[in-house]
């Protein structure tokens, strides 16, 4: 078995074990855990231990799946200064996981949606990768909302959760997607690095109400998915 095959299989196995944060899934595989109340403040580091067994040179000579989205880690770093190689490898592991779990036709649709989201992050995202959707044109907001409505069930599947689209009513599902976008928008407006559990007091006073409302609905959906 060559090193490329070993690398791909290792990443896919790791991807199966990684659960991105339910409250920030719009941020393309972030690392904040917004689960049940007793674990809300826990930060999931998601260290790719198995990757340490692979020679560093392998990453310099073999292309990762994520390179197809960002070009390279260095290119991503130019746009999102808070990006880390660890996070880049987690993203690659998640995509490898998707390749193994999603049917080919659906995977093609999924990766197409991820590409649209990735392009939006690079074009409109702040230094942490978050987007202030209110600053976009109405046309672009509508376009991205449609993408998020379509991609969320794939995220649920990869995270081993019941599909939020099937679990919720049509109106609740739309509100869920809106809440995820509002949550990200407010964090971006607040210029906060989402690498920790964000306390309401960190948010500007005029945005605290909408922030709490969005997070409450996200938590409501998360609770239903974990029942």
- Vertex 162 angle, CA 154 and 133, to 5°: 50
Tokens, residue 5 = 């095959």
Q: What is the chain's mean pLDDT, rounded?
A: 75
Q: Each residue of 19-33: pLDDT tens digit? A: 444 444 444 443 323
Q: Each residue of 62-87: pLDDT tens digit? A: 467 777 777 777 877 777 777 778 77
Residue found by looking up tokens 């198995």 in the block: 50
Q: Which CA distances in Å does 87 have to 53, 119, 203? A: 17, 17, 25
pLDDT at res. 9: 54
Task: State the pLDDT confidence band at 208, using cuts at 50, 70 and 90.
Answer: very high
**Whole-angstrom distance, CA of residue 72 vs CA of residue 86:** 14
Percent of the chain with pLDDT over 90: 37
pTM of the predicted protein model: 0.69
pLDDT at res. 205: 97
**Whole-angstrom distance, CA of residue 210 vs CA of residue 227:** 26
């Amino acid at each position: 078995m060559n090193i490329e095959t070993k690398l791909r299989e290792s990443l896919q196995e790791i991807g199966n074990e990684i659960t991105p944060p339910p409250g920030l899934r719009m941020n393309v595989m972030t690392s904040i855990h917004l689960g049940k109340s007793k674990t809300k403040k826990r930060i999931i580091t998601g260290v790719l231990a198995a990757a340490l067994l692979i020679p560093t040179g392998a990453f310099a000579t073999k292309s990762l799946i994520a390179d197809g989205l960002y070009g390279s880690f260095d290119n991503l770093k130019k746009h999102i200064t808070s990006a880390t190689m660890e996070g880049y490898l987690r993203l690659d592991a998640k995509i490898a996981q998707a390749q193994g779990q999603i049917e080919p036709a659906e995977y093609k649709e999924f990766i197409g949606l991820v590409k649209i989201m990735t392009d939006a992050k690079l074009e409109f995202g702040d230094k942490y990768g978050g987007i202030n959707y209110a600053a976009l044109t109405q046309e672009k907001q509508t376009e991205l909302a449609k993408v998020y409505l379509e991609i969320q069930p794939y995220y649920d599947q990869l995270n081993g959760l019941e599909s939020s689209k099937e679990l919720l009513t049509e109106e609740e599902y739309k509100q869920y997607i809106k809440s995820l976008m509002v949550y990200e928008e407010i964090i971006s407006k607040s210029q906060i690095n989402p690498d920790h559990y964000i306390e309401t007091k960190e948010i500007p006073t005029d945005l605290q109400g909408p922030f709490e409302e969005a997070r409450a609905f996200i938590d409501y959906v998360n609770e239903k998915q974990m029942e």
